[in-house]
């Protein structure tokens, strides 16, 4: 999960200008703010947040960096991967879904 969040950060994802990513496991992400306060965020929140998937897609080359107008009824690759991830999470469990996503971003 750590590699997934780091890849999304490469694509532009952040928690705000004062927050620094420290690391993550399959349940929690650790952030440090400008005052030195740590905060734990549930990993589940990222998987439900479209800007997370867009940033991950940007870093992995799934979407173009310039705005485009998709055809009505079509989804871009980052949303396709988000749907596959959620389906796998429901059917096979969180560990399998995260392992699949980690393998996908390493390609």
pLDDT tens digits, one per residue of 33-46: 888 899 999 999 99
Determine the pLDDT at residue 47.
92
Nearest to 7 by CA among 84, 85, 66, 61: 61
- Region 70-79: mean pLDDT is 64
Determine the pLDDT at residue 66.
47
Among 13-17, 59-63, 92-96, the least confident range: 13-17
Average pLDDT, the chain: 86
Say how far apart CA 8 and CA 52 lie, in whole Å.
Answer: 6
Determine the pLDDT at residue 74.
52
Strand partners of residue 1: none
**C-alpha distance from residue 92 to each of 12, 22, 85 (Å):** 30, 28, 10
- Residues in Cβ contact with 81 at an 8 Å cutoff, skipping those fewer than 6 apart: 53, 56, 57, 62, 101, 104
pLDDT at 70 over 60: no
pLDDT at 65 over 50: no
Task: Confirm whether pTM is higher than 0.85.
Answer: no
Say how far apart CA 24 and CA 94 lie, in whole Å.
Answer: 14
């Amino acid at each position: 999960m750590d590699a997934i969040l780091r890849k999304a950060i490469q694509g532009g994802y952040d928690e705000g200008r004062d927050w620094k990513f420290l690391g993550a496991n399959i349940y929690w992400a650790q952030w440090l703010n400008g005052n030195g306060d740590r905060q734990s965020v549930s990993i589940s929140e990222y998987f439900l947040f479209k800007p997370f998937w867009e940033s991950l897609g940007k870093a992995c080359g799934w979407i173009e960096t310039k705005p485009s107008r998709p055809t009505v009824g079509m989804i871009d690759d980052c949303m396709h991967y988000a749907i596959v991830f959620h389906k796998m999470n429901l059917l096979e469990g969180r560990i399998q879904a995260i392992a699949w996503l980690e393998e996908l971003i390493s390609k």
